[in-house]
Amino acid sequence: MKTAAEYEESLRKLNLKVYLQGELVENPVDHPIIRPSMNSVKMTYALAEKSEYQELMTATSHLTGKKVNRFCHLHQSTDDLVKKVKMQRLLGQKTAACFQRCVGMDAINACDSVTFEMDQKLGTNYHERFNKFLLQMQEEDWTVDGAMTDPKGDRGLAPSQQADPDLYVHVVEKREDGIVVRGAKAHQTGAINSHWILVMPTISMGEADADYAVSFVAPADAEGIYYIYGRQSCDTRKLEGGTIDVGNSQFGGHEALMVFDDVFIPWENVFMCGEYEFSGALVERFAGYHRQSYGGCKVGVGDVLIGATALAADFNGVAKATHIKDKLIEMMHLNETLYACGIACSAEGNKTASGNYLINMLLANVCKQNVTRLPYEIARLAQDIAGGLMVTMPSEKDLRNPEIGKVVEKYFVGVSSVPTEDRMRILRLIENLTLGTAAVGYLTESMHGAGSPQAQRIMISRQGNLAQKKELAKAIARIETK
């Protein structure tokens, strides 16, 4: 397994083409806006080195019997599924940000069972190709970005009906040695901190969309791939050189538009090419795994936000107020509800035909449906308790100013025993988690990541087995089925 230092060094060897604020970035690793997100991924390697976290952060490869980072592992039991959620909560607690590596873990687990079932039915050899890549991924301890979301254009039209065919990634040429693909993937979490990209279709395809039913892997710096870095609220605070106003100066997340400009993919790296009837299964399983993930990562970040809010109450001198205590209890209740759903869908998982384990899909969708709602209430309560100073206090430069710094210290103190700087730091952290750059990974991602709310409601409708519930009611009411 890679050490944290080796991971950072491996990124420096990549020749990524990244645009940020209209300029080509010479060194993504050390760019002040990008680096905090790299630090978050780096934590997935750092914790795996520590003996006290080995049980959660590592697993035994079913391919080699060697110890591997859990992010490179295929779930072999419900215990693996549960440990995944616990690991994600831990990392959320350590970074208070999106640590980005979950998407690739969820992608490999979805691809494993789907490629196996494709081969069983169609006589293809996609699963063998997938296993060869997985073996490399485990041996090299790669961070892999799972790329599913296309720009989509007109949502009322199928991929092949779009005015611009490139609004969904598609095959433009088939060669004897591989395929050429064109298009883009949007909102790509952690793409610039990844070694490889695993592309999947974004929706269930029909026969007319066969060219869009494509799955493959490519190096993150492959010829023809480039990235346009996404803006986040308050992101330029990272350019100011301080640590207070950023809120979370060490860690962060990022998203990017990933463009495929006629990228060549050798056949050995292709896992689906035109088998449209399996595209829906790949989308649903990836989405299910990723909806499970949110019962861990968002809970870990929630733990930090709740702790910050409790400290704000202490620093404001209101911690003993009954309504403050009640609001903190409510925040904890909501956060643990999310965690309970993540654990439940894991414990109720089942074995697939390929041998890896799939979560309970109904409960995974219930988990994510709750995630689209409860973090917003947790954030609202945090802002309520923190108070208006969270968004009106002066800057760190004002605090450091030799003339007015003492004035800032004097008038923005809370409890006299707590330094004004400490109060400012905790309020900026709450601002960051609920309004700033971290709010992308905590709130907006809670809403739209792994599918927006209606996507989960559709799956709950499909899997909720309403017909069986009617029969249960008939039996109790003694109504005969005719």
Active site residue 189: yes
The DSSP output letter for 275 is: -
Q: Of the residues 102, 111, 273, 367, which is catalytic?
A: 102
Task: Based on the residue annotation, tell me whether 421 is a catalytic residue of this protein.
Answer: no
Consecutive H or E run containing 408: helix 405-411
Active site residue 3: no
Burial class of 261 by CB neighbour count within 10 A (0 to 12, 13 to 18, 19+): middle
How far apart are the C-alpha atoms of 290 and 389, rounded to whole Å? 36
Does the annotation mark 124 as catalytic? no
Catalytic residue among 187, 284, 290, 367: 290
Given 212, 294, 339, 442, which residue is catalytic?
294
In this structure, are strands 196-199 and 67-69 parallel, antiparallel, or unpaired? Answer: unpaired
Please state, in angstroms and rounded to a whole number, the distance separating the CA atoms of residues 383 and 374: 14
Annotated ligand binding at 392? The verdict is no
Tokens of 257: 């538009």
Residue type at 94 in one-letter notation: K
Under a CB-based contact definition with an 8 Å cutoff, are residues 281 and 114 in contact? yes
- Active-site residue, selected from the candidate residues 72, 273, 297, 345: 297
Active site residue 64: no
Q: Which of 95, 189, 309, 352 is catalytic?
A: 189
Q: Tokens for 231, please give them.
A: 């803006």
445 is catalytic: yes
Question: What does the block give as tokens for 9?
Answer: 């060094």
Q: Is 72 a catalytic residue?
A: no
Task: Classify the C-alpha dihedral 256-89-438-15 as positive or negative.
Answer: negative
Is 345 catalytic? The answer is no
The active-site residue, picked from 117, 255, 284, 396, is 255
- Provide the b/e sequence for 348-377 (b: ≥16 CB within 10 Å): ebeebebebbbbbbbbbbbbbbbbbebbbe
Q: Which residues are annotated as a binding site?
A: 189
Instruction: List active site positions.
Output: 98, 102, 189, 255, 290, 294, 297, 445
Q: Which residues are annotated as a binding site for FAD?
A: 189
